[in-house]
Structure 1
Amino acid sequence: MTSQNEHGRSDGPDSTSTTFEDLGLGPELLQALAESGYRHPTPIQAQAIPVVLMGRDVLGCAQTGTGKTASFTLPMIEILAAGRAKARMPRSLILAPTRELAAQVADNFDKYGKYHPLKKALIIGGESMNDQVALLDRGVDVLIATPGRLLDMFERGRILLNDVKVLVIDEADRMLDMGFIPDVERIVGLLPKIRQTLFFSATLGPEIRRLADAFLMNPKEISVSQGGDTAATVVQAMAVVEEIDKRETLRHLIRIEEVKNAFIFCNRKRDVDVLFRSLKKHGFDVVQLHGDMAQSARSETLDKFKKGEARLMVCSDVAARGIDISAVSHVFNFDVPIHAEDYIHRIGRTGRAGMAGHAFTIATPDDGKFVVAIEKLIGNPVPRIEVEGVPALELDMSARRGRGGRGAASGGRGERPARDGGEKRERKPRQAAPTEEAPAEVATATETPAPEAPRRAERGRGRGRDRDEARGESRPVESRPAESRRDEPRRDEPRNEDRNRGRGRDERPGRRRGRVDELGIGEMLHADGVIGFGDHPPDFILAAVPLPAKLARGSDAELDLADTED
């Protein structure tokens, strides 16, 4: 007896000889399964379906291609068969990380639920929001959504989530990698506390378990495969070359291999576009797929690839999960994946349903640590190959660089010259060197201030009065020759000397004439000799502030002033 995957094909011997009739499904579902050619459940289906029908929470761990989607869609259809949907209040919610995976789940509901009068809605980005709102207004039993578009709908008041009875979080580890977990946590906070939650992930790391503990209540844990399992039908190989030789290596592998169709994975979206244009220039029939494309363009790309109109598809990890194409002959990792688990999902696109597949990875010496992580996860070394005309290299286990960058020849972040205090102390202070008369004046201002000094400082700080006098008391005078300052025309000179000196606060010309003081920034009428701010230094610089005693005595003025800088 053999078990069938979700596409009705054999996954290998099944000693239990379990049938779908044994799982407690209704006659409508059994008829739909029989018409689709499915006879026996996969291990994840055989274990998960009875538990879901009992109403328990489930924490499931299964790799892509094991029939995981049917393990929750089949019992959900059975549970939702009784009941009626309300406008804008879905009865169940399925969250998926990508549009393609959400669309695949929707297809499963159409296929398995064709004998049930259930209504579904697919809420994803890149599609018309008005059409999606119209579906919600009529009421839906099953809402399949990506987190971003769902929150957008909720914030616009187009949907209510207080009637959700069943929540499914699919590909939770992919949600974590894509940064969707904060959105998922917010969505879960909007749902009723009493609900059934089904949580599925390809891996169960510490962060995933933390989320499961927060979302689930006394769950039944179901794990049907090891985290690093790869299909035995996939032949793996790796070429280690220089960064500049990666495209030539890829083109050579495509030419010498009997490639029927192939996924070519890149780590970054911009590299997808660059590689797509490069392959197009060299005459390959190729399409591209990444997350920045409009949904219509993504759907058109998938249709072309599925129909065989394009032999190659350059894509980001958006295609590593949720795209169901069973007869893919090759997978090329143009970039070594950042996360080791992504390697399993990528090469899982080929060798499906017992068919033979080939997976080639193109690495650079700087990818050494990422390759080690992959080989540790799968439990076996990836065989190395040499490509004709391209020098073969060894992996560098000591390389330290960020993903997407070039080599570490220029030094990493930690190898930059440190900005030590010596460099800062050698910098000249903003104030000019004091003249011979300045120390005496400063000493007078700091050691034995006149009774009017605080009042003068307050006025200078607040509105800019008596700036010439405050400047003489707060810092040394500019060493520029006095003759050059007097020869330069200054509109504010008469106003500073004649109008400001000796007048009260209410008699200032700025307030009397309604000029600059009304802006709240002072009169901004200063001497031309100020360094660094032109004619308009801030008022706080001109305020009378006591300076260190050493500077007041005139000894080592420049060094002591530099020591006081932050």
Structure 2
Amino acid sequence: MTKFSDLNLNPKVLKAIEEAGYETPTPIQAGAIPPALEGRDVLGIAQTGTGKTAGFVLPMITMLARGRARARMPRSLVLCPTRELAAQVAENFDTYAKHVKLTKALLIGGVSFKEQDLLIDKGVDVLIATPGRLLDHFERGKLILSDVKVMVVDEADRMLDMGFIPDIEKIFGLTPFTRQTLFFSATMASEIERITNTFLSNPARIEVARQATASETIEQGVVVFRASRRDREGSEKRQVLRMMIDAEGDKCTNAIIFCNRKMDVDTVAKSLKKYGYDAAPIHGDLDQSQRTRTLDGFRNGELRFLVASDVAARGLDVPAVSHVFNFDVPSHAEDYVHRIGRTGRAGRSGKAMMICAAKDEKNLEAIEKLIQREIPRLENPMGTITASAEDTVAPREEKKPSRSRNRIRRSGPAQDEVKEAPSETAPVQASAEEVKATDPVQQPTVRETDDQRDPAPRGRDNYRSGTQQRGRGSDNSKILGMGDHMPSFIALSFDERRTS
């Protein structure tokens, strides 16, 4: 059996490995370290959790132990897709290079440019960066990449998913052609293969596991979920998640819960807190300081449940994660392998469970096709679904259509059916006899005909009927546009015009 002492590493590096408690390298480490020490390009393909990080950190420390960096000119470069993975790589360098005098700088977003510029100006042996922040420093004239001797691209397939491939190609063009390149990925998409063929020179290919396979130490299962009503799907799905957690009991010491969308990460974390679960969210929209505190709390055991987007799915090494829950079926089948790879690491056993709604069945089929096995179906812990009252969204009331009086058309008999009833508070209009007795000026203008006034109050519903009766012997006090309280002498003038 191969041991680290057989890999021709620097004695000071071997001492740090021994102090960290490791003796035997993993297959990817045993395959990648010897050709890397020989100066060859390396293409490493291995599933997540197999120790790829140490596979390039250990030979880099050995090769960089001799020499000195110059200001703004790093001697080596490590590219990572996310801030968390870059910080993890930096921690590995601190662990294995503590007996070797090497300087390093971490260039990630969410940190002050000024602090990073000070480190670069002093000169660093190892520069660990995300592609965007690295190019920001270069374009500001704070960084020179012409002295890079070793370049590492970690989690290359994740770089592809996040759209970093154009940046990677640009960075390759800024580094010397004579550099040594170490390229690591869990899967080999066609675009990744094109880049390796373009920028790697006769690489040593180390493939220790079939591409896109899940570790055999992980027990998998899926709950096929059907909501009782469409507007209750979210709340019932969260209830299924809580019941799955409760069913595991003490076996679930800690867990990562993955969601496809950032807004769902916040919603699920808030729901778990509401029901007494120790949970916190982590995704790309949070401040870097908050992301760091949350991740540190989860690693230290202070936080039991980490609700995450795929920002935490790749490369994060939390050694003892007992469970992974996929609240959503990942839209890309490869992401499933990386998500569940957060448990069952370094030979440990783990459990990965997933909730599959009706809309996610096609994605589930794609995952089973990729891993070439059927994921066992688990019984829905809710049985017949009845969502809790606190977590159920009440159905919306149907909005009654508004009736605009300006647009209602009435004609014929239907008009009489919709007339407003007389109001008790409306003023009672005088009859023709009362008008004769009390208003001598009005006497000549009042005619007793079959078309007497409608006793109903004069409103919009009677407006059209009043105008239709004009000119047919109706009361002259009803003149269009003059209102209900028109003086009688004005009505007299209109009456004289009609009779003349």
Relative to the length of structure 1, the TM-score reads 0.65
In structure 2, what is the equivalent of residue 163 of structure 1?
A: 147
Among all aligned residue pairs of Structure 1 and Structure 2, give the percentage whose two residues are the same amino acid: 61
Counterpart code for 1:99: R
CA distance in 1, matches of 2:271, 2:174: 46
Of residues 227, 231, 239, the one that matches 1:248 is 239
Counterpart code for 1:50: P
Counterpart code for 1:38: Y
In structure 2, what is the equivalent of residue 552 of structure 1?
A: none
Q: Point out 4+ residue stretches in structure 1 off by more than 6 angstroms.
A: none
> Any residues of structure 2 matched to 1:255-334 within 5 Å, and which?
255-258=246-249, 259-334=252-327
Query: Are 2:91 and 1:107 equivalent residues in the alignment?
Result: yes
Q: Give secondary structure in 2 for the equivalent of 1:213.
A: helix
Greater RCO (CA < 8 Å, at least 6 residues apart): 2
Counterpart code for 1:252: M
In structure 1, what is the equivalent of residue 358 of structure 2?
A: 365
In structure 2, what is the equivalent of residue 98 of structure 1?
A: 82
CA contact (8 A) 2:186 2:212 kept: no
Query: Are 2:118 and 1:134 equivalent residues in the alignment?
Result: yes
CA contact (8 A) 1:249 1:390 kept: no
CA distance in 2, matches of 1:98, 1:311: 23
Q: Give secondary structure in 1 for the equivalent of 2:338.
A: helix
In structure 1, what is the equivalent of residue 339 of structure 2?
A: 346
Query: Are 2:131 and 1:147 equivalent residues in the alignment?
Result: yes
CA distance in 2, matches of 1:169, 1:358: 30
CA distance in 2, matches of 1:286, 1:45: 35
Relative to the length of structure 2, the TM-score reads 0.73
CA distance in 2, matches of 1:373, 1:323: 25
Counterpart code for 1:351: G
In structure 2, what is the equivalent of residue 233 of structure 1?
A: 217
How far 1:236 moved relative to its partner? 0.9
In structure 2, what is the equivalent of residue 85 of structure 1?
A: 69
CA distance in 1, matches of 2:206, 2:303: 39
In structure 2, what is the equivalent of residue 175 of structure 1?
A: 159
CA distance in 1, matches of 2:268, 2:292: 20
Q: Can you give the 5+ residue segments of structure 2 that lack an aligned partner in the other structure?
A: 228-232, 386-500
CA distance in 1, matches of 2:238, 2:255: 15
In structure 2, what is the equivalent of residue 545 of structure 1?
A: none
Q: Give secondary structure in 1 for the equivalent of 2:377.
A: coil
In structure 1, what is the equivalent of residue 328 of structure 2?
A: 335
In structure 1, what is the equivalent of residue 56 of structure 2?
A: 72
CA contact (8 A) 2:47 2:214 kept: no
Q: Give secondary structure in 1 for the equivalent of 2:216.
A: coil
Cα-to-partner distance string for 1:147-186 (whole Å, 9 max, x where unaligned):
1111111111111111111110000000001111111111
Counterpart code for 2:246: R
CA distance in 1, matches of 2:324, 2:24: 29
How far 1:205 moved relative to its partner? 2.0
Cα-to-partner distance string for 1:524-551 (whole Å, 9 max, x where unaligned):
xxxxxxxxxxxxxxxxxxxxxxxxxxxx
Q: Give secondary structure in 1 for the equivalent of 2:119.
A: helix
CA distance in 1, matches of 2:333, 2:20: 35
CA distance in 2, matches of 1:160, 1:354: 41
Of residues 76, 100, 118, the one that matches 2:102 is 118
CA distance in 1, matches of 2:8, 2:269: 49
How far 1:232 moved relative to its partner? 2.1
CA contact (8 A) 1:252 1:387 kept: no
How far 1:229 moved relative to its partner? 2.5
Counterpart code for 2:15: Q
> Any residues of structure 2 matched to 1:185-204 within 5 Å, and which?
185-204=169-188
How far 1:107 moved relative to its partner? 0.9
How far 1:391 moved relative to its partner? 4.9
How far 1:301 moved relative to its partner? 0.2
In structure 2, what is the equivalent of residue 397 of structure 1?
A: none
In structure 1, what is the equivalent of residue 23 of structure 2?
A: 39
Counterpart code for 1:290: H
Cα-to-partner distance string for 1:96-148 (whole Å, 9 max, x where unaligned):
00111111111111111111111111111111211111000000000000011
Cα-to-partner distance string for 1:342-371 (whole Å, 9 max, x where unaligned):
111111111223333211101111212211
CA distance in 1, matches of 2:191, 2:226: 35
How far 1:390 moved relative to its partner? 4.4
CA contact (8 A) 1:57 1:197 kept: yes
CA contact (8 A) 2:49 2:315 kept: no
Counterpart code for 1:248: Q
Q: Give secondary structure in 2 for the equivalent of 1:85.
A: coil
Q: Give secondary structure in 2 for the equivalent of 1:358.
A: strand
CA distance in 2, matches of 1:260, 1:37: 24
Counting matched residue pairs gives 376
Counterpart code for 1:354: G
Cα-to-partner distance string for 1:437-460 (whole Å, 9 max, x where unaligned):
xxxxxxxxxxxxxxxxxxxxxxxx
Counterpart code for 2:244: L
CA distance in 2, matches of 1:46, 1:352: 17
